């Protein structure tokens, strides 16, 4: 039994977060090939008996060209309008692909207040619980169309960690355009190496994380390490992996050494 199997063999409930850079082409349009493969892998996990929640970026990326913008907007009203248009496009695309694999999906839009207000938190827990019990795959996004703070400061890495904590997940998977956490920036340092396993998030680990990544996303490695701190302290292991790799989710749940595994505090000596 390898380490991954030891840590992940009893996983029952998984949150998967996918970023804009994975879901879209460089021109901002949706990458239907990747979304279809994402849906197929998640449907297969559901068929295995796992409960899966998908936290998705991509609403602004899906919507801004429909409004005639040539590039991703930078001001708040244009971002909100793009998100309002793009959210429908994104959900329609997910519904189409998931239905081809016999899966039902549900949209849940969350704000920071939903996770800090006790009554809303409890209501959200109940909604997720009922959907998962019914075999439905919840698809979660920030409510970017109306929440200014979420667009300006929020990121779906942090959101996914809070969702994982909310539902009592066993594992959080962050899919990005990078293979995992490196000891330094691999885009600028050819000697950088991938860190396969992080037992505990130390100051050195935090210093390995850089700033924002691609032009389409809001989160860089810094937000992913921040999400790992939230998840691991809640007793949830987390993996950062490359969403561009073929069948990467299935590979991870088959205990292959993809990406970087951050161990739950429950595994610390």
Q: Which helix (H) or strand (E) holds 21?
A: helix 20-23
Of how many residues is the chain composed? 269
Separation of alpha carbons 152 and 77, rounded Å: 11
Helix (H/G/I), strand (E/B), else coil: 83: helix
Confirm if 71 and 28 have CB atoms less than 8 A apart: yes
pLDDT given at position 206 = 81
Buried b (16+ CB within 10 A) or exposed e, 75-87: eeebbbbbbbbbb
CA distance 83 to 34: 20
Per-residue pLDDT of the chain (269 residues; tens, 9 = 90+): 678 999 999 999 999 999 888 898 888 788 999 999 999 999 999 999 999 999 998 888 889 989 989 888 888 889 889 989 999 999 999 999 999 999 999 999 988 888 888 999 999 999 999 999 999 999 999 877 666 554 443 688 999 999 999 999 999 999 998 899 988 877 788 888 899 999 999 888 887 776 444 433 344 788 899 999 999 999 999 999 999 999 999 999 999 999 999 999 988 76
Does residue 179 contact residue 241 with C-beta atoms inside 8 Å?
yes
If you search the block for the tokens 């619980």, which residue do you land on?
129
- 3-class DSSP state for residue 146? coil
Nearest to 144 by CA among 186, 86, 189, 183: 86
Q: What is the pLDDT of residue 44?
A: 97
Q: Looking at the domain 3-267, which fold is it?
A: Carbamate kinase (3.40.1160)
Domain spans, the chain: 3-267
Query: Do the Cβ atoms of 154 and 55 come closer than 8 Å?
Result: no
Sign of CA dihedral 239, 243, 245, 251: positive
Q: Are strands 51-56 and 237-242 parallel, antiparallel or unpaired?
A: unpaired
């Amino acid at each position: 039994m390898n380490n991954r199997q030891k840590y992940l063999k009893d996983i029952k409930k998984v949150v998967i977060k996918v970023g804009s850079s994975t879901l879209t082409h460089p021109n901002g349009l949706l990458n239907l090939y990747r979304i279809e493969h994402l849906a197929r892998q998640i449907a297969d996990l559901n068929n295995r008996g796992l409960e899966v929640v998908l936290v998705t970026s991509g609403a602004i990326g899906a919507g801004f060209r429909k409004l005639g913008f040539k590039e991703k907007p930078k001001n708040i009203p244009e971002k909100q309008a793009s998100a309002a248009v793009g959210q429908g496009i994104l959900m329609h695309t997910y519904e189409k692909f998931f239905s081809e694999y016999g899966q039902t999906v549900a949209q849940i839009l969350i704000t920071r207040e939903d996770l800090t207000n006790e009554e809303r938190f409890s209501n959200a827990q109940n909604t997720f619980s009922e959907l998962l019990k019914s075999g439905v795959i919840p698809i979660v996004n920030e409510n970017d169309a109306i929440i200014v703070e979420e667009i300006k400061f929020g990121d779906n890495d942090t959101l996914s960690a809070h969702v994982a904590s909310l539902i009592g997940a066993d594992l959080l998977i962050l899919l990005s355009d990078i293979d995992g956490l490196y000891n330094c920036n691999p885009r600028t340092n050819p000697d950088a190496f991938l860190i396969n396993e992080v037992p505990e998030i130390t100051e050195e680990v935090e210093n390995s994380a850089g700033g924002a990544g691609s032009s389409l996303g809001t989160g860089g490695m810094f937000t992913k390490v921040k999400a790992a701190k939230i998840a691991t302290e809640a007793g949830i292991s987390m993996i950062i992996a490359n969403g561009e790799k073929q069948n990467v989710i299935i590979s991870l749940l088959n205990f292959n050494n993809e990406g970087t595994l951050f161990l739950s505090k429950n595994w610390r000596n």
